[in-house]
Structure 1
Amino acid sequence: MALPRPTALVDRRVAAITALSVVLALVAAVIAQALQALIALITNLAFHQRVSLDPSSPADHALGAWVIVVPIVGGVIVGLMARYGSRAIRGHGIPEAMEQVLANESRIPLRMTFLKPLSAAIAIGTGGPFGAEGPIIATGGALGSVLGQLVRVTPDERKTLLAAGAAAGMTATFGTPVSAVLLAIELLLFEYRARSVIPVAIATSTAAAARIALVGAAPVFAMHDVAAPGAEALCAYVLLGALLGLASVAITRALYAIEDGFERLPVHWMWWPAIGAVAVGAIGWLAPRTLGVGYENIEQMLDGELAGRALVVLCIAKLVSWSISLGSGTSGGTLAPLFTIGGAMGALLASIASSALPGAAIDPRVGALVGMAAMFAGASRALLASAVFAFETTQQPMVLLPLIGGCAAAYFVSCLAMPNSIMTEKLARRGLRVPAEYAADVLARVLVRERMSTSVVTLAAERALADVRAWLATGSADAQHQGFPVIDAGGELIGVVTRRDLVGGECSEDATIGSLVHRTPIVVTPDRTLRDVADDMIEHDVGRVVVVERARPRHVVGILTRGDLLRAYELRIAAERHAHVARPLRARS
């Protein structure tokens, strides 16, 4: 008898993938620091005409109007790299990684491990208004994918390595291991399973340790301690998150409208980054804060040093510069720009609310942090990753409640107003179906005993084929089945025959039913799940399995068909139908 394979949450393969993830995380941590050093080097060369690896801001340049030329030069170089290197370097990294997971078994070409970070460093170092996180995530993912192609792994294991590399790269940049795991789950893994989450979590822990060893454990965005919010302030932060959710929808639509505009230009796409860089340079000349990564802008917002008109100018200028540049198809990230734009909006709204409600103790600094996270949550639909990321980068425990409330409100509004996110809109346009919800498999929750048919029509092994054919011709209800268990004289199962076996072929009319059995029967016990049965049906290419007692594996107690598996989904469909037609609850009198 062929019983279903035993299932386990983890096995030795998981241990092997975890070991590979640790090595991958160490490499990703070094590359993350190297990429940031490269960005600093290019920034110093382009804006300050010096050779240095020390971080510097392009806003402090002394180029005057010549600053407009710097991003254009970077755009030309990125366009050439995309044309003659790989077109895949265009964009902000995460959607491209998602596409490889969904459509290409997580296979990313080796050249992407150096083309993507190099192109991003050039784009950002020459003033592109992006963050380094997207390219680093894409590079870490590419490393994991390449490793998964060099060693013998399954597509699922390669996806896990890709996600581990991406999460390790994010952790090495920001020191945010928990949010990196959550981001991997929400945007790359499309599942929550022990065999995928464990390697990713170990990889982020390793990358965090490597980052501490290289640069220390200080938070990326230092923020002075804030007080616990009161009830009124908390309500204000949740409302602020909802408003930022609306803003994220508008920004996403504007970005893709700009992309569509570039698609209509009568010039080759290789020149689009240079055209978009004209806007980056012009805006950077008028508002130097918009140039480059701009992490210092985020720190100043969280410290309350940026306020009023400066916030308004930064918010509008950064939004226009970033959306035009990214829409042109250059190489860059989304997290830092969205954080800057959302933080500015959040600080402004919180300042207005604080003036209108002086007794509510609404803190504009917390408003900036909630705005940052809510903007990313609404745009990317990475709800948990957004809230935890803002907490980990500031290490302020009192902001957790405002963050989760504001991000949930933004997520809710975004889901109501927009079918796709900033990460998935491009993929949806290419015809890819991106999973947005992860639920426990219905088949894994239903036992065989709940769906099997106990009225089993069996055939005796010694019965003549002619007799059975005559019985089938009567058209009785029992004769309508497509498969029949065959039992011997003692009532023990010996196999299964199908209707095709009985009515087709060249068998003699005098043949017995037992002589038609040519393969070991596939059986299952009543305590197994329908998921086990589905896997077994696919592996053995059968349309039905016989249910037997565990203590007596040849004693038939039921039968389960493909139709029974499909009917198990009635539970989910009925629940969803009930949710749509349910009336509002009323208090009982």
Structure 2
Amino acid sequence: MVNIGRILGKRLSRLLLRPKRLAIFEACLIGLVSGLAAVLLGQSVGWLGGWRQHASHIFAAYLVLPAIGLVGGFLAGWLVEKIAPSAAGSGMSEVKAVLAQVPMPLNLQIALVKLVSATLVLASGMPLGREGPTVQIGAALANQLSRWFPTSPDHRRQLIAAGAGAGLAAAFDAPIAGVLFVVEELLQETSGITLGTAILASFIGAVVARICGTHSLDLNLHLVTPNTSFFASEIPFYLLLGILAGLGGVLFNRGILAGLNFNRRFLKISLPWRVGLAGLLTGLALVALPPVFRDNAGLRELLLTGNANWPLVTLVFCIQFLLILVTYSSGAPGGLLVPTLALGAALGYLIGMWEHQWLGLSLATTYARVGMGAFFCAVARVPITAVIIVFEMTTDFNLVLPLMIVSVTAYLVAEIVEEGSLYDKLLAFKGIHLSKAGIASGPWTELTAADVMQPRVETLTSQMSLDEALQAFSQSSHRGFPVLEDGKLVGMLTQKDIANLSQRGLNSDRTVAATMTPQPVITRPDDTLAHVLHLLNHYNLSSLPVVEGRRLVGIITRSDIIRIEAAYLNGQEQLLGPKPEPSRVIYQTRSPETGQGRLLVLLSNPKTAATILEMAVAIARDRHYEIECLHIIVVPRHQSLTETNTSISSAQHLLRQAMRLGQAWNVPMHTQIRVAHDLSEAILQTIKDRHINLVLMGWKGSTNTPGRVFSRVVDTIIRQAACEVVLIKLKDHSQFNRWLVPMAGGPNAQQAIQLLPAIALLSKTPEVKLCQVFESNKNKPDTTILEKSAHFLKQRIQGSITIAPVYATSVPEAVIECAKQNHSDVIVLGASREGMLQQAVHGNIPAVISRNSQQTVILVRAASAVGTGKPYSNPI
């Protein structure tokens, strides 16, 4: 029986692992899981929201509603901040970024945190929607599935898109709209595999939601007068509705961004308190409104049943508009599509009442349903999806034409006033800019097969005997060989071909031509890497010959793809385009090599060179190091380094300044000027060639590069340099009298303490304050680390050393506030590999402190942090 089970299992796995069948299986699984997650979210919100309303009737509503909003918001914000910062907000923009190949976290942990935190926020009465969370949850579950079943990056992207579509379809019970939203807004491209996977997943997600879930977004359940009509004389009113919705959508998008900017710049409190405060304000607003509005669907139901007067609708529209801006800009995990539908319904209801008084042709409820699509389109800029989603929610064919009129009008007006959807603007707010095609720059679109292929290929001839071919396999790690005849590609011989032959009885007299796979799948040198990935995945291949005409010019294996993806995620962007030449030294000076180590200083900015050199000399004297001063001239890749004429006069001036300083302090000083195609590659090459022990480099304090923590060059050096790295963000007119050193253990923090006695020599009377951030609920904090560090420094620094435990929930905000109160000149931080390069968007403590503080910041990364493969705890 065991053998039979194994045989059946193997046959089932072989059936499922065929590309098309595997895609169908994965789509079904994604749709099922996403639908169940949406049902769980809806049922949980309904149950907790019902309990909240029940409690408001039993106890004093003016106490219960604000209290529940405060507690629910605080708990949701605490979960997001402590476990998964990427779960904040709607989640739509994050999913769009991942689909655009921006490296951002999207995993099972984010899905679980999003589910729980969104439940708390929505059940607390905040006027956000559950469609944003269901999209992010579905996409995260799909991405996690793709990690469990290893696949190509292109297929992973298709699965994530399918998960997003299934999440939206399950939230709205609208499978067609789910697919269209993915294509029109998130992916902005179509392919047979993508569409098929997304359609199947969305259909199953909607079916699961309909069978198991609630129908709170099914408009037919709330309509007392479902009959609608459309007359030509109403067109001016629909055009007016479209214009007002377009302008309202632009105002809404600007309000969201203004709220986010206000929270970032002025509201210096932690995420839990921001969300809790938004919940408190929501509770107070609900107390002032009629009881029907205590349910998230109250406004929509009131409008769609036609039981509202225009003063009440106007008042509620304004209050709801402001509450949405406040709650979302706080970072609360919740969606924006359902709220925009409610606002559109209110706007349409007002226009409908005006039309009914003038012409008396249609009910205000008809305009309310049409207005939903108009406002939704003005915010998300998806006219087709707007029409389909309202149609699927109402199943009323009479609405299609007015929906098309108002949606297109709203879209055109909004685009004329301000281009771009809300989700594009949210990504831009985070420093991520996508192209018009919705694709971030990356290797899959910029590299070609010629850039990635291996030009030297091991081949077989068609007349070679099978024995000789078997010997070639035994002596090589390749799973397949191209077969040539008269120098032209005629087939591929793979291990699978030989295995199939051995099952039928191996015949050693056969030739390769009789065994190979003729007419193999090929690619051309100018095909994009995305196309190569599609072929490898679609045909389940391990390698792909690159052919020009019929001549074999190279081969691409899955190992090459993995190498490119890993290098790109690690910041090695020199892979994008022609391979750069090694950097060249065009000028150098040498001093006696008498030091016990070597310190590399990068000199490029004359304004900061003197201060950085003084710091380098202080460290070199303390450690008995020599100093290597490096200036790099970057030239375009299409120019040869050996043929490029460059001026080095300004660089020589900087290096002479360094030489004079070295002579004054009796420190061996070497200098060199390099020309290079890639800045980070030149620095790494210098580190290797000159056996550098420590790199000292400046940083401007910000970056606009998507997915980077500090900058492309700095991130690369921090990750790959096999030595200690010291990063400096200099404040204008820097002083070095008051030093703040946050502590929390770890190798980098200890390295910062080791470095401090040397750089503290920049001040005659340094005042050093060591601080450690503790949670507020700890009565007796463990200050052992602070005391040991203070004892070490008191023996080495001629100045005051003090320690101070700090109580706070946010480490960056606590450190910045402590530096402000202490009037610190410099903040010295230990920086971790994990925090910098795996939490690049939300959770990096050193990066947040560096960007937002007004002091000079020095970050230290110990040499032991490179190459160990061990993730460190978050920094300082």
TM-score, normalized by the shorter chain, greater than 0.5 = yes
Structure 1 CA distance for aligned equivalents of residues 58 and 412 of structure 2: 42
Equivalence for 1:317: 319
Q: Is the 8 A contact 1:190 1:438 kept in 2?
A: yes
Structure 2 CA distance for aligned equivalents of residues 283 and 61 of structure 1: 19
Deviations 1:449-484 (A, max 9, x none): xxxxxxxxxxxxxxxxxxxxxxxxxxxxxxxxxxxx
Q: Is the 8 A contact 1:72 1:278 kept in 2?
A: yes
Equivalence for 1:203: 201
Q: Is the 8 A contact 1:105 1:159 kept in 2?
A: no
Q: Is the 8 A contact 1:190 1:435 kept in 2?
A: no
Structure 2 CA distance for aligned equivalents of residues 71 and 421 of structure 1: 30
Give the TM-score normalised by structure 1: 0.69
Question: Shift in Å at residue 379 of structure 1?
Answer: 0.4
- 5+ residue gaps, structure 2, are 1-16, 440-485, 490-522, 533-542, 552-576, 578-876
Equivalence for 1:65: 62
State which structure, 1 or 2, has the greater radius of gyration over its C-alpha atoms. 2
Equivalence for 1:370: 370
Q: Is the 8 A contact 2:75 2:272 kept in 1?
A: no
Structure 1 CA distance for aligned equivalents of residues 58 and 239 of structure 2: 39
Equivalence for 2:36: 30
Residues 1:289 and 1:344: Cα distance change in structure 2 (over 3 Å)? farther
Is the strand fraction higher in 1 or 2? Answer: 2
Q: Is the 8 A contact 1:106 1:162 kept in 2?
A: no
Q: Is the 8 A contact 1:132 1:293 kept in 2?
A: no
Deviations 1:155-209 (A, max 9, x none): 2222222222222222223220111111111222231111101011011222233
Is the helix fraction higher in 1 or 2? Answer: 1
Equivalence for 2:409: 409
Are 1:353 and 2:355 counterparts?
Answer: yes
| 1:124-139 correspondence runs (5 A) | 124-139=122-137
Question: Shift in Å at residue 152 of structure 1?
Answer: 1.3
Question: Shift in Å at residue 350 of structure 1?
Answer: 2.2
Question: Shift in Å at residue 103 of structure 1?
Answer: 4.1
Deviations 1:295-349 (A, max 9, x none): 2431331221223122112211111111101111111111121111111011102
Structure 2 CA distance for aligned equivalents of residues 397 and 279 of structure 1: 40
1:251 maps to amino acid: F
Q: Is the 8 A contact 1:124 1:292 kept in 2?
A: no
Equivalence for 2:342: 340
| 1:97-496 correspondence runs (5 A) | 97-104=95-102, 108-214=106-212, 220-222=218-220, 223=223, 224-263=225-264, 264-288=266-290, 294-356=296-358, 358=359, 361-437=361-437
Residues 1:61 and 1:12: Cα distance change in structure 2 (over 3 Å)? farther
SS of residue in 1 equivalent to 2:36: helix
Residues 1:368 and 1:545: Cα distance change in structure 2 (over 3 Å)? same
1:79 maps to amino acid: G
Structure 2 CA distance for aligned equivalents of residues 162 and 235 of structure 1: 42
Residues 1:225 and 1:533: Cα distance change in structure 2 (over 3 Å)? farther
Structure 2 CA distance for aligned equivalents of residues 367 and 351 of structure 1: 9
Question: Shift in Å at residue 247 of structure 1?
Answer: 0.5
- 5+ residue gaps, structure 1, are 1-10, 50-57, 440-491, 496-530, 549-561, 563-589
- Identical residues among aligned pairs (%): 22
1:201 maps to amino acid: I
Structure 1 CA distance for aligned equivalents of residues 52 and 214 of structure 2: 28
Question: Shift in Å at residue 433 of structure 1?
Answer: 2.9
Q: Is the 8 A contact 2:43 2:214 kept in 1?
A: no
Residues 1:178 and 1:61: Cα distance change in structure 2 (over 3 Å)? farther
Equivalence for 1:499: none
Q: Is the 8 A contact 1:290 1:314 kept in 2?
A: no
Residues 1:226 and 1:238: Cα distance change in structure 2 (over 3 Å)? farther
Structure 2 CA distance for aligned equivalents of residues 76 and 241 of structure 1: 38
1:227 maps to amino acid: T
Structure 2 CA distance for aligned equivalents of residues 415 and 300 of structure 1: 31
Question: Shift in Å at residue 389 of structure 1?
Answer: 0.7
Q: Is the 8 A contact 1:28 1:140 kept in 2?
A: yes
SS of residue in 1 equivalent to 2:151: coil
Q: Is the 8 A contact 1:127 1:291 kept in 2?
A: no
Question: Shift in Å at residue 114 of structure 1?
Answer: 0.9
| 1:509-524 correspondence runs (5 A) | none
SS of residue in 2 equivalent to 1:330: coil
SS of residue in 1 equivalent to 2:335: coil
2:369 maps to amino acid: L
Give the TM-score normalised by structure 2: 0.47
2:184 maps to amino acid: E
Deviations 1:86-127 (A, max 9, x none): 111210121121122224467512211210010000011111
Structure 2 CA distance for aligned equivalents of residues 162 and 404 of structure 1: 29
Structure 2 CA distance for aligned equivalents of residues 239 and 300 of structure 1: 23
SS of residue in 1 equivalent to 2:108: coil
Structure 2 CA distance for aligned equivalents of residues 300 and 536 of structure 1: 53
Residues 1:187 and 1:289: Cα distance change in structure 2 (over 3 Å)? farther
Residues 1:335 and 1:61: Cα distance change in structure 2 (over 3 Å)? farther
Residues 1:309 and 1:33: Cα distance change in structure 2 (over 3 Å)? same
Structure 1 CA distance for aligned equivalents of residues 312 and 151 of structure 2: 52
Structure 2 CA distance for aligned equivalents of residues 100 and 61 of structure 1: 46
Question: Shift in Å at residue 243 of structure 1?
Answer: 1.5
2:44 maps to amino acid: L
Question: Shift in Å at residue 438 of structure 1?
Answer: 8.1
SS of residue in 2 equivalent to 1:226: coil
The count of corresponding residues between Structure 1 and Structure 2 is 445
Deviations 1:413-441 (A, max 9, x none): 111111332212121233323354589xx
Structure 2 CA distance for aligned equivalents of residues 24 and 166 of structure 1: 9
The structure with higher relative contact order (CA 8 Å, sep 6+) is 1
Q: Is the 8 A contact 1:136 1:170 kept in 2?
A: yes
Structure 2 CA distance for aligned equivalents of residues 324 and 177 of structure 1: 31
Equivalence for 1:565: none
Deviations 1:44-71 (A, max 9, x none): 343424xxxxxxxx7x675321022221
Structure 1 CA distance for aligned equivalents of residues 346 and 219 of structure 2: 15
Question: Shift in Å at residue 401 of structure 1?
Answer: 0.8
Q: Is the 8 A contact 2:125 2:296 kept in 1?
A: no
1:366 maps to amino acid: T
Structure 2 CA distance for aligned equivalents of residues 547 and 71 of structure 1: 69
Deviations 1:348-375 (A, max 9, x none): 022223323x16x243212111211111
Q: Is the 8 A contact 1:163 1:184 kept in 2?
A: yes
Structure 2 CA distance for aligned equivalents of residues 400 and 344 of structure 1: 19
Residues 1:237 and 1:254: Cα distance change in structure 2 (over 3 Å)? same
Structure 1 CA distance for aligned equivalents of residues 184 and 314 of structure 2: 32
Q: Is the 8 A contact 1:347 1:368 kept in 2?
A: yes
Q: Is the 8 A contact 1:107 1:145 kept in 2?
A: no
User: For structure 1, which segment, 82-91 or 293-302, has the greater mean C-alpha deviation from structure 2 after superposition?
Assistant: 293-302
Q: What RMSD, in angstroms, separates the aligned Cα atoms of the two structures?
A: 3.3
Q: Is the 8 A contact 2:77 2:117 kept in 1?
A: no
SS of residue in 2 equivalent to 1:433: coil
Question: Shift in Å at residue 292 of structure 1?
Answer: 6.0
